[in-house]
Chains A and B, each alone.
Chain A
Amino acid sequence: MSAATMDAAPQRRRPRREIREITLLVVTVAIILGVGIVKPGFMHYDNLEFMVLSAVVLGLIAIGQTFVIMTSGIDLSVSAVMGLSAVVFGLASTTVHLPLAAALPLCLILGTALGSVNGVLVAWVRIPPIIATLGTYSLFGGLTFIVSNGTQVDQVSNQFARFGNGDLIPHLPVPTPVLALAAVALLAWFVLNHMIFGRNILAIGNNASAAYNAGIPVKRTLLFVYMIAGALASFGGLVFVAYTGSATATTGTGDHVELQSIAIALIGGTLISGGRGNLAGTVIGSVFLSVVITALVFLHVPAIWYSAGEGLMILAAVTLGAKRGAAR
C-alpha cells in the first residue's frame, strides 16, 4: 500500500535482533569500567545517575522515532515538536502558571495533534515520510518562533523543576525523568510485543502491500505511529524544560535532535528499511551516547574532538553489532 516500502531496497542484512543490544550493553559497560579504572569518579553513583539522566530526553524521542522507523518511515519533525512543546509549556508555566497536572495531558495532546499532521501527510497524501516531516519541520519550527514571540523561557515553576530534578518515590534515589523513561519504554515494549497494533507495525515495515492484503489497517496504523512519535517528542520537550528550566525557540532543532534520535534508533539495532525494531537497543543506545560524551570529558580529550569521538564510537558500535550478527 505505502509507496515507501514498495521502492525501498530489499534488506540484505539482518543482524539477529538480540545481538545489537547485547553488544551495545557490553561496549557501554566496557567504557564505564575502562574509564572508571583511570578516573574513579566516573563510576561514582552520582555520575552514573547523571549519565542516565542526561539520556532521558533523547531516549524518549528515540523510542517514538523507533516506532516510525519500524514502519520504514522516518520523522525529521521530532526536534521541532520537542522545541515547540518546550516553549509552549515553559511559557505556560511562567505566564499563566499552568500546573504540571494540566501540562502533562496537554503536552500529550499537542504532540499527538502535531504527529497526526505527519501521519495524514504520510498515510493519506502519500508524501514520502522524509519529505513530509522535512516540511512539517519547517512549519512547526516556525510556529515555535511565533509562539515564543522572540523571547525565551528562563525559569519554570518549582513544580516543573521538581518533576525534572526530584525523586518521585521517597527513599528510592531514582530521578523522576528516569522513571518516566523506564515507564515509557515498558509501555512501548508491551505495545510492540503484546498487542496486535505492534505486530501490524512490523508487518507494514516488512511489506506494506502484503500487510494491506492481509487486512491490516495500514493507513490507520501509520497515523497512530506518527501520533506516538509526536506525543513522545512533545513529552521529551516537557521533560527537557522541566529538567533544564529554560528553553528557546531553537531548542531541539538547534541541537539536531532529529538526527540524534535517528542515530540512536539505528545504533540500537532498528533497521532503517523497517520491519524490525529494537526498543531495548534504543534505550541502551541513548545511554551509550551520553556515556561516550561524558567519558571524553573525563579523559580530558580537548573539546573540539568530542564530535569526532562520538562519530567514531557510533561507527564502532554499529559495525561491532553487524560483524557479530554476520558471524552467526
Chain B
Amino acid sequence: MNRFLPRHAWDRTLAIILIALLVAFCTLIPGFYAGFGGTLAITDQFLPFGFVAIGLAVVILTGGIDLSVGAIASLSAVIMAILTKSGGLDIWLAAVLALIIGAILGWLNGIVITSLRVEPLIATLATSFIYTSVATALAGASPPYGFGKPFGVLGNGTIALVLPVQLLMFIGIAIGFSILITRTGFGRRIVMVGYNRDAAHYAGVAVPGLLRKVYAISGFMAAFAGIVLASYYDAVRPDMGNILLLTAITMVVLGGVSIFGGEGGILGVTLGVLILGVLRQGMLIAGFSDMVTTMLTGAILLVSIAAKNLLSDRGFGYGALLLRLINSRKQEATPPNT
C-alpha cells in the first residue's frame, strides 16, 4: 500500500520540525533558553498531555476513540487524594491504586463498547459524564491539596539536577509502548484490528477481548496523567482533566496516527507531543496570547495534515502528481481509491 507516506518519512519530518522549532525558539525568543535544565523543565508543563496521548494512540490505532480520558484522569487523581487524605493511605500506595482504578474505568469502557455494542464515541462520552459526576461528588466543596514534598518529585522533580522526572518517565513509557506496538503479537493485533477489523476477526483475533485491554491501557495512561498533574499542582480538582482530551487527540493525529486506525506509530506520537507542547509554551513565552496560540495550533494541525496528504498519494491532484513523478522510480504508482 503506497497510499501512505512511509511512516519513518513522516517521523523524520516531525523530528526536523522539532529541532528547527527548538533552535528557532532558543535563539529568537528571549527567556525561552534558560539554561539546559531550565529549558528542559518546560516539558513539565505539557507532558501530562503526552501520557494521555500515548494511551489514546493505542485506542485510535484500533480505529476507536476514547473521549473519557479527561474524566478518568480527574477521577483517578481525586480518588488517590481521598485515599491518602481521608483514608490515611501512603500517597504512593494510593497512587498505585488510582492507576489500577484508571485501568478498571477504561476496561469498563471496553465492556460497554464490546458487550453492549455501543459505538466507542458515544460509549466513552456517556461514561465520561458518569465519571465526572463521581469525581465532583467525591471532591466535595474544597477538593484536597498538599501531598508533601516527596510526591511533588513526580511532577516537578529532576534527576541529576537537570533531567526532569516527567521527561524521563515519558521517554521510558514511549519506548515501552513502541516495543509493545511494533515487536509484540499483541501490538500487531492492535494495528491489524484497526486496519481491517473483519480480516483480523477471520484471522483468529479475539477482537472484543483485545479492545477491552486497549481501553484499559488508555484508562491506565489517563490515570497516570492525572496523578502526575496532581503532583505538579500539589492539588486535585474534579475538572482538571477536562483540557486534556482535544489537545491529546491533536498530538496523536499530528504524530501520524490515522484517525481511522491501522496506521501510525508511537515514535511519531512522541514527536507530536513534543512539537505541540514546545510550540505552545514557546509562543506564550514569546508573548502571544492564549487565543492566538490556540488558533495557530489549529492552523498548524490543518497545514501539517494537508502536507502529509500532499506528500502521500492522498493529496490533491497536483502535489500528488508531482511527488509521484519524483518517486516514480522508487515507488509503483498506485491508482487512487485502492
Q: In the complex, A touching B, CB below 8 Å?
A: yes
Chain A residues near B (Cβ < 8 Å)? 1, 3-4, 6-10, 12-13, 121, 124-128, 130-132, 134-139, 141-143, 145-146, 209, 212, 259, 262-263, 266-267, 272, 304-312, 314-315, 318-319, 322, 326
**B301–A7 contact, CB under 8 A?**
no
A-B contact count, CB below 8 Å? 154
Check if B298 sits within 8 Å of A308, measured CB to CB. Answer: no
Contact with B258, one of A7, A146, A262, A307 (Cβ below 8 angstroms): A7
Residue in B116, B249, B263 whose beta carbon sits within 8 Å of that of A315 in the complex: B116
Query: In the complex, which residue of chain A has the Cβ closest to the Cβ of B122?
Result: A266
Contacts A134-B246, A134-B301, A146-B291 supplied; 9 other A-B pairs, CB < 8 Å:
A121-B306, A127-B302, A128-B258, A262-B122, A263-B126, A308-B130, A311-B129, A314-B122, A315-B126
Contacts of B137 in A (CB 8 A): 304-305
A136 to B298, CA, bound (A): 7
Tell me which residues across on chain A come within 8 A of B316, comparing CB atoms: 124-126
Is B63 close to A, CB under 8 A? Answer: yes
B283 CB to closest chain A CB (Å) equals 13
B314 and A131 contacting across the interface, CB-CB below 8 Å: no
Q: Which residue of B lies closest to A130 (CB)?
A: B259
Per a CB cutoff under 8 Å, which of B67, B116, B298 touches A259?
A: B67
Counting CB contacts under 8 A, is B132 at the interface?
yes
Instruction: Convert B260-293 into 0s and 1s, putting 1 for each residue whose CB lies closer than 8 angstroms to a CB of A.
Output: 1111000000000000000000000000000110
Q: Which B residues, 109 to 157, have Cβ-Cβ distances below 8 Å to chain A?
A: 112, 116-119, 121-123, 125-130, 132-134, 136-137
Given A125-B316, A131-B253: A138 touches B295 (CB 8 Å cut-off): yes
What residue in chain B is nearest A10 (Cβ atoms)?
B198
Q: What are 29 sample pairs from A and B whose C-beta atoms fall under 8 A apart?
A: A1-B337, A3-B314, A4-B260, A7-B261, A8-B63, A9-B261, A10-B198, A124-B316, A128-B260, A128-B305, A131-B305, A134-B246, A136-B302, A138-B297, A138-B298, A145-B291, A146-B291, A259-B125, A272-B121, A304-B136, A305-B133, A307-B130, A308-B133, A314-B129, A315-B123, A318-B116, A318-B126, A322-B117, A322-B118
Q: Given contacts A128-B305, A307-B130, A307-B132, are A315 and B314 in contact (CB under 8 A)?
A: no
> Are the C-beta atoms of B121 and A262 separated by less than 8 Å?
yes
CA distance A3 to B259 in the complex (A): 11
Shortest CB distance B78–A (Å): 13
Tell me the count of chain B residues lying within 8 A, CB to CB, of chain A.
52
B306 near A272 with CB under 8 A, answer: no
Q: Report the Cα distance A4→B261, complex, angstroms.
A: 11
B127 x A311 contact (CB < 8 A): yes
Query: Considering the complex of A and B, which 9 residue pairs feature the smallest CB-CB distances, nearest first?
Result: A138-B298, A311-B129, A308-B133, A142-B295, A7-B260, A135-B302, A311-B130, A311-B126, A314-B126
Q: Is B189 an interface residue (CB 8 A)?
A: no
- The CB with the most chain A CB atoms within 10 A, among B250, B253, B259, B294, is that of B259
B309 contacts the other chain (Cβ, under 8 Å)?
yes
Q: How far is the CB of A316 from chain B (nearest CB, A)?
A: 9
Q: Does B187 touch A at the CB level, under 8 Å? A: no
